[in-house]
A and B are shown apart, each in its own frame.
Chain A
Amino acid sequence: MHTTSSDVHTPRQADDLAALRQLNHGFIRGVATADAAWFERHLSDDFLNSNPDGTMSDRAAFLRQVGRPPSISGLDVEDVRIRLFGDAAIIHGRTTYTCADGRRGAGRYTDVWARVDGQWLCAAADVTRC
């Protein structure tokens, strides 16, 4: 049975949702600050990222990508929806940011997390910029 942030049944689910909210915040902060070390700790070995341009990045390529200074600034997230599926979770969020030329931009992402040996790791991310 899936659990959403508005549908919490057990203390463990509440703890999981709190942990995932924190990890989601960390993911966004990690992108905004090019904090590759954060991603080293929180991406699974088989992590896959679907980039806005249609390319796919594996873990190593994503770490190189995210370690470069971002071309956007003021990255923020809203409308975050977290669903729990036992030891897996799906997070959707809407991003807003400022492009290099000063224009405001927005996007959406879908991240998949899984708990392994008690630790939540991100297994996949799909990113749209619009």
Chain B
Amino acid sequence: MPRIAATDRPDDRRVIEDLNRHYLRAAEDADLAWYEEHLADDYVCITVDGALSNRAAFLKRIAQPYPGGHFEAVDVRVRFVGELALVHAGFKYTKPDGQAGSGRYTDIYTQRQGRWLCVSAHFNRF
């Protein structure tokens, strides 16, 4: 079976890595404007409880600041699959009670009108 993910698109990679950093920052800062600008109309989010949210529902939820914080992405891997850019990453954070928490996510971006927009996010938290 062939390998299908390209890893050698340095310019696109830099853009996606930057978007990935901001995705986490915006979650911590409840930065609704950033998500308004970078989520595609058909964005879909799967949250830790297995619920599937569309763009409007996600924006409504993200506007409520998370009582924990210190989000940090770890083990970030960016791959390009056809028109899609995949971000596989783990993350660390501080829970509202001060305990350390961790999780993992897969975010997927595509280019529309020359801009990379997020079309899918799938989160697990442990």
Contacts and interface: CB of A to CB of B under 8 A. Distances in A.
Contacts of A126: 46, 104-106, 122, 124
B103 interface: yes
Interface in B78-96: 79, 81-84, 86, 88, 90
Interface string B107-124: 010100000000110111
A87 B81 CA distance: 9
B52 interface: yes
Contacts of A31: none
Interface string B36-48: 0000001010101
A126 to B, nearest CB: 4
B124 A46 contact: no
B29 to A, nearest CB: 25
Interface residues of B, number: 35
Interface of B: 1-5, 42, 44, 46, 48-52, 77, 79, 81-84, 86, 88, 90, 102-106, 108, 110, 119-120, 122-124, 126
Given A87-B82, A126-B122, 9 more contacts: A50-B104, A79-B52, A107-B50, A112-B81, A112-B84, A114-B82, A116-B2, A124-B88, A128-B48
